[in-house]
């Protein structure tokens, strides 16, 4: 709920007035109390000491001796005490002799005209215990009696009045000793003065001060409120109404307000008029600014989509390839980013992977990124090695690099059939590798200089052996250099730990797990760099094959052909392809039977992802049919060399052939799409 300015003034002034009133009254009360306290303390001390001085010591000895109340001295002393009590308006005036635990009263002055009740007079010789005289609810009261006795034992009276404020009343008490010729105390005068009237006076003073202060400050506040209303709230209210009217009508043209107060409020109205002129100018230009901003936004959106379209974004990218799984992602810090990744098949047996980070952010970095990506892909597809690619692209980027931008690059080319990967690193982050059934670990490879910084830089290559179940993770510095609100780096240790927590997932799940971990770590902190990641997993090179094992003899060939026909028929392989595969099977088995010297043969077959895979394993002599030169079929039949036509036919029928000799076995694998 909003409260207007004038009520706020009234409330605040009222609070200030209340504080001033209470403070002034309490100060007056405290000052008066201190003054009266000192005045009455001096009075009881002076009067008590005078009385003690004017009393004859011999008379005191007579009075406190046995039968002293029957002597003329007693009568004379009682009369004197009564007169002194009356003249001094004393509450209690007594001649007493204290000891360790009690006090003995010899004279207790009584003046009935002052309201004293004879029934309350303490008789001569009354010995009253301190525990009976003290207030049982006030432990400090007992201490006062003990103090008087301790002073008396030292032949001294009090050096300051004792203040009693309890159920027995509010009193000032003074004690003066009567000394004999040897200076020993023989009795003392007990002088008590009632302070209730003084207290009543102080309370009356406090009440009057409160009332007077309230009245004075209240009138001052009322006068000040009228002044504030005229000089402050009314002009401000006028300005508020004017502002609300403009806001509701949304009309700023030629609107002005005139306030003449000769102070800051008038200056505020002048500033407001100036602001209206500026708003009017701003509104006239706003449509142009908005249109320009929308145009820039649209162009940035187009640039973002162009950049995204340049990166591989359809997954799985090679659905017909079962040898590996690959996934990548990029999250730019701005509309467009400087990071990029790429992967592509150089040929059927070589997969190239690129991870790169351009210096800078925004549109310039994005343009440099597109140039770099195009040059790297073009050089790689030309058949160059990773080091040669980086050397060539570095020199190309150095040409006319007036912006002095640079790019870090990690490039790897995987030979799919063998798992051998040749890599080169131009100032990029270390890759992370996980071996089968192992943990992710940083692989601290050889770093070269960044691209586009200096011409004719030489780069070194290194080789990785990637087997089934192994994984490779590459990334840009946006991952480890993410910071949170505490300005703490995410770091490679957290990244590797996140990878290991999600190592059982697929490549896409792995990247998502790292991204979520980075996001959780950063919290509300703004992303300041692009986050780009790529993960490669090497799969088993072949799916599970259905196999048949036979002795290498011609009468077993129909059994193998029938076995293959059944598998291909169940997989609904086209009849034409089945006939071609039967020719291949006959040719391969014939070669093994006639020429290899094998004693056992194992034939396997599978159909997956629109591809037929054949594999023949025998323990014969090593023989790679791919090394057999193709016959020149352009020559007449009589001029050709014998043999080789069957293997040539196999090569023509099948799309891909691989061979290895391992553990004393020939392993020939053929693929047909």
pLDDT in tens, 58-81: 999 999 999 889 999 999 999 999
When pLDDT is cut at 50, 70 and 90, the band that residue 115 belongs to is confident
Per-residue pLDDT averaged across 121-126, rounded? 91
Of residues 209 and 415, more confidence is placed in: 415
- Tell me yes or no: is domain 46-194 CATH 3.30.450.20: yes
State the average pLDDT over residues 215-242: 77
User: Sorting pLDDT into bands at 50, 70 and 90, what band is 410?
Assistant: very high
Decide if pLDDT at 14 tops 70.
yes
**Residue 252 has what pLDDT?**
61
How far CA 286 is from CA of 245, 274, 280, 314, 470, in Å, comes to 22, 18, 10, 42, 58
Give the CA angle between residues 478, 331, 494 to the nearest 5°: 40
Radius of gyration of the chain (CA): 56
User: What pLDDT was estimated at residue 308?
Assistant: 65
Contact predicate 326/343, CB 8 Å: yes
Q: How far apart are CA 198 and CA 472, in angstroms?
A: 97
Between residues 97 and 133, which one has the greater pLDDT? 97
Please say if the pLDDT value at position 92 is more than 70.
yes
pLDDT digits (tens, 9 = 90+) for 634-672: 666 555 565 567 888 888 899 888 888 888 999 999 888
pLDDT of residue 5: 66
Query: pLDDT grade, residue 328 (50/70/90)?
Result: very high
Architecture of domain 546-672: 2-Layer Sandwich (3.30)
Higher pLDDT, 304 or 647: 647
Common-topology check for domains 46-194 and 546-672: no
pLDDT greater than 70 at residue 246: yes
Q: Which helix (H) or strand (E) holds 475?
A: strand 471-475
pLDDT value, residue 659: 87
pLDDT of the residue at 293: 65
Residue 667: its H or E element:
strand 665-672
Mean pLDDT of 310-336: 85
pLDDT in tens, 178-214: 999 988 999 999 999 888 888 888 888 888 888 888 8
State the pLDDT at residue 355.
Answer: 96
pLDDT at 255: 67
pTM exceeds 0.95: no
The whole-number average pLDDT for the span 510-528 is 94
316 preceded by cis ω (within 30°)? Answer: yes
**Fold (topology level) of 319-538:** Phosphatase 2c; domain 1 (3.60.40)
The residue ranges of every structural domain in the chain are 46-194, 255-310, 319-538, 546-672
């Amino acid at each position: 709920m909003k409260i207007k300015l004038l009520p706020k003034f009234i409330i605040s002034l009222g609070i200030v007035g209340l504080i001033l009133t209470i403070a002034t009254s309490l100060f007056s009360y405290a000052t008066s109390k201190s003054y009266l306290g000192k005045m009455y303390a001096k009075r009881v001390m002076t009067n008590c000491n005078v009385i003690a001085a004017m009393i004859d010591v011999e008379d005191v000895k007579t009075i406190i001796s046995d039968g002293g109340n029957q002597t003329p001295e007693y009568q004379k002393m009682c009369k004197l005490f009564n007169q002194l009590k009356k003249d001094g308006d004393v509450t209690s005036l007594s001649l007493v002799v204290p000891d360790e635990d009690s006090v003995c009263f010899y004279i207790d002055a009584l003046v009935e005209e002052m309201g004293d009740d004879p029934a309350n007079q303490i008789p001569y010789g009354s010995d009253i215990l301190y525990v009976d005289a003290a207030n049982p609810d006030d432990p400090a009261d007992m201490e006062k009696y003990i103090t008087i006795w301790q002073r008396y034992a030292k032949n001294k009276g009090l050096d300051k009045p004792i203040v009693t404020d309890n159920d027995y009343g509010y009193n000032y008490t003074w004690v003066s000793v009567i000394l004999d010729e040897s200076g020993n105390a023989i009795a003392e005068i007990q002088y008590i003065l009632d302070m209730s009237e003084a207290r009543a006076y102080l309370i009356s003073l406090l009440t009057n001060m409160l009332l007077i202060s309230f009245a004075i400050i209240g009138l001052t506040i009322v006068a000040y409120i009228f002044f504030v209303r005229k000089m402050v709230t009314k002009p401000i209210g006028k300005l508020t109404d004017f502002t609300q009217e403009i806001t509701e009508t949304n009309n700023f043209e030629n609107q002005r307000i005139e306030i003449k107060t000769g102070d800051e409020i008038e200056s505020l109205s002048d500033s407001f008029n100036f602001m209206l002129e500026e708003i009017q100018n701003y509104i006239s230009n706003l449509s142009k600014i908005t249109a320009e901003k929308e145009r820039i936004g649209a162009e940035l959106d187009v640039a973002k989509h162009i950049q995204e379209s340049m990166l591989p974004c359809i997954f799985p990218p090679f659905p017909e390839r079962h040898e590996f799984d690959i996934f990548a992602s990029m999250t730019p810090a701005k509309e467009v980013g400087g990071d990029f990744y790429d992967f592509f098949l150089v040929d059927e047996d070589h997969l190239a992977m690129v991870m790169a980070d351009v210096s800078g952010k925004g549109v310039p970095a994005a343009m440099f990124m597109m140039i770099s990506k195009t040059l790297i892909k073009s050089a790689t597809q030309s058949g160059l090695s990773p080091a040669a690619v980086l050397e060539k692209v570095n020199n190309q980027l150095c040409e006319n690099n007036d912006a002095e931008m640079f790019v870090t690059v990690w490039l790897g080319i995987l030979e799919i059939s063998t798992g051998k990967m040749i890599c080169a690193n131009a100032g990029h982050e270390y890759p992370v590798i996980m071996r089968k059934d192992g943990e992710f670990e940083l692989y601290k490879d050889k770093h070269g200089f960044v691209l586009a910084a200096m011409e004719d830089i030489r780069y070194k290559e290194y080789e990785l052996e990637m087997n089934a179940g192994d994984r490779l993770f590459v990334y840009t510095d946006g991952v480890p250099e993410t910071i949170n609100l505490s300005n703490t780096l995410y770091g490679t240790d957290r990244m590797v730990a996140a990878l290991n927590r999600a190592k059982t997932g697929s490549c896409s799940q792995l990247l998502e797990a790292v991204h979520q971990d980075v996001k959780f770590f950063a919290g509300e902190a703004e992303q300041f760099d692009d986050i780009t990641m790529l993960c490669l997993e090497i799969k088993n090179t072949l799916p599970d094959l259905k196999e048949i094992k036979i002795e290498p003899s011609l009468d077993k060939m129909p059994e193998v052909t029938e076995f293959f026909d059944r598998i291909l028929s169940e997989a609904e392989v086209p009849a034409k392809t089945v006939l071609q595969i039967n020719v291949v099977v006959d040719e391969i088995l014939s070669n093994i039977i006639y020429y290899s010297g094998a004693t056992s043969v194992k034939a396997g077959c599978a159909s997956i992802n629109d591809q037929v895979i054949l594999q023949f394993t025998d323990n014969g002599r090593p023989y790679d049919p791919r090394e057999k030169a193709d016959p020149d079929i352009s020559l007449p039949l009589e001029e050709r060399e014998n043999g080789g036509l069957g293997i040539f036919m196999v090569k023509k029928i099948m799309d891909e052939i691989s061979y290895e000799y391992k553990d004393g076995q020939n392993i020939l694998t053929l693929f047909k799409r």
